[in-house]
């Protein structure tokens, strides 16, 4: 396992090295599009047709939706404790981003490599529930926040059910999920598919892991502002997610180390792009209507997305390096509390007035470690 984790980190490092070669947005978007539209659907298809579906999997989308709702309910408390609730545009932006998850690009390659095809199928079912949440509920929430911000009492900009269904079922991952379930329900499996087709799809599947990890490296951005605001929030979000997994594990039986690892990995996935798409749509409506007050902070949302993917992927790999010790309930609670405390500590230190920080830095020179750490904030 350790050698595989090292290889994964080397692929991320390769992405960092290649940043200058892929400095254009269109180049990075091309890689991301290939992953989401080709590599990931191919991987899911091969995994689905290679196993026997378990009827218990049908409950997984519901678990996914409930987990999203728990994070959403806790988000206002997090924003109040961090002081970001006073910045209305950022708080509304985070209210959509924090409870969303994108396991497809941040978790699926790792699950397939470390846990196998059956867990990837389970993850696909869970993600379907997550997709329903981000595409339907968060879209409605974005318009609700828009109306409350602009003081619109009468319902305008009605959400098209047809558009929602189109987004859900025409997304490549969900389309492959539906096709695979139909095939399996009629008794077809990988042995019934011509060898040339399965070999072709398998070749596409093999591109997933290296492309995702290189893309993670390309996505890493180094900026002080992120250390002050975005990184602490990602720590707190991950800590809360781990705490919820620990609570679930306390009252239910995960069934073993692999099952526990599976749920931990999914809980640490990056935020989804779809809430940002909803925010962009609302922002476009407000721009066309010439509203002075905007509901969302689009640039902050984009930055949050950019840091979320590398943060999640790197932390998941670090977790896997010692997963046997960390998956027990007490360790999960301890890790979650440490991450929440680290997040709040970084945010508290970075929010202190500049004058106080300069004074503290001078006084702290006697302790080189504190001085070194504070110099980055």
**pLDDT, tens digit, 9 for 90 and up, residues 214-262:** 988 888 777 676 677 889 999 999 999 999 999 988 887 776 788 889 9
Res 67: pLDDT: 94
Q: pLDDT band for position 131 (50/70/90)?
A: confident
**pLDDT, tens digit, 9 for 90 and up, residues 310-321:** 999 999 999 988
What integer is the mean pLDDT of 117-142?
A: 89
What integer is the mean pLDDT of 337-345?
A: 93
pLDDT beyond 80 at 305: yes
Three-state secondary structure of the chain: CHHHHHHHHHHHHHHHHHHHCCCCHHHHHHHHHHHHHHHHHHHHHHHHHCCCCCHHHHHHHHHHHHHHHHHHHHHHHHHHHHCHHHCHHHHHHHHHHCCCCCHHHHCHHHHHHHCCHHHHHHHHHHHHHHHHHHHHHHHHHHHHHHHHHHCCCCCCCCCCHHHHHHHHHCCHHHHHHHHHHHHHHCCCCHHHCCHHHHHHHHHHHCCHHHHHHHHHHHHCCCCHHHHHHHHHHHHHHHHHHHHHHHHHHHHCCCCCHHHHHHHHHHHCCCCCCHHHHHHHHHHHHHHHCCCCCCCCCHHHHHHHHHHHHHHHHHHHHHHHCCHHHHCCHHHHHHHHHHHHHHHHHHHHHHHCCHHHHHHHHHHHHHCHHHHHHHCCC
What's the whole-number average pLDDT of the chain?
A: 83
pLDDT beyond 50 at 365: no
pLDDT beyond 90 at 117: no
Res 161: pLDDT: 59
**pLDDT, tens digit, 9 for 90 and up, residues 262-277:** 999 999 999 998 898 8
Res 176: pLDDT: 85
Domain carrying residue 348: 2-374
Assign residue 164 the CATH number of its domain. Answer: 1.20.1530
pTM: 0.82
State the total domains in the chain: 1
Q: pLDDT band for position 357 (50/70/90)?
A: very low
């Amino acid at each position: 396992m350790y050698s595989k984790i090292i290889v994964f980190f080397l692929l991320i490092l390769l992405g960092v090295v290649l940043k200058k070669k892929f400095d254009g947005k269109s180049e990075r978007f091309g890689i991301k599009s290939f992953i989401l539209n080709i590599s990931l659907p191919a991987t899911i298809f091969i995994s689905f047709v290679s196993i026997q579906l378990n009827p218990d999997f049908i409950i997984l989308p519901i678990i996914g939706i409930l987990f999203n709702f728990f994070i959403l309910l806790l988000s206002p408390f997090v924003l109040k404790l961090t002081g970001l609730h006073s910045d209305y545009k950022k708080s509304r932006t985070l209210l959509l981003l924090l409870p969303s998850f994108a396991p497809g690009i941040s978790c699926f390659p790792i699950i397939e490599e470390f846990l196998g095809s059956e867990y990837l199928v389970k993850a696909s079912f869970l993600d379907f529930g997550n997709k329903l949440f981000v595409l339907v509920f968060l879209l409605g929430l974005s318009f609700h926040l828009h109306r409350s911000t602009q003081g619109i009492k009468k319902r305008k900009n009605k959400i098209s059910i047809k558009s929602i269904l189109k987004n859900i079922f025409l997304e490549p991952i969900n389309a492959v999920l539906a096709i695979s379930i139909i095939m399996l329900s009629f008794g077809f499996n990988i042995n019934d598919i011509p060898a040339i087709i399965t070999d072709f799809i398998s070749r596409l599947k093999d591109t997933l892991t290296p492309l995702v990890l290189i893309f993670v490296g390309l996505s890493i951005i180094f900026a002080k502002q992120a250390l002050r605001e975005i990184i602490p929030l990602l720590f707190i979000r991950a800590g809360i997610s781990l705490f919820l997994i620990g609570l679930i594990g306390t009252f239910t039986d995960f069934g073993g180390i692999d099952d526990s690892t599976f749920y931990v990995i999914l809980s640490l996935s990056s935020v989804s792009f779809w809430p940002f798409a909803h925010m962009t749509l609302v922002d476009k409506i407000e721009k066309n209507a010439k509203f002075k007050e905007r509901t969302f902070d689009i640039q902050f949302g984009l930055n949050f997305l950019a840091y979320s993917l590398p943060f999640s992927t790197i932390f998941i790999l670090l977790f896997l390096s010692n997963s046997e010790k960390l998956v027990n309930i007490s360790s999960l609670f301890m890790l979650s509390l440490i991450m929440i405390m680290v997040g709040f500590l970084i945010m508290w230190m970075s929010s202190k007035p500049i004058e106080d920080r300069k004074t503290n830095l001078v006084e702290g020179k006697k302790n080189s470690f504190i001085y070194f750490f504070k110099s980055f904030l």
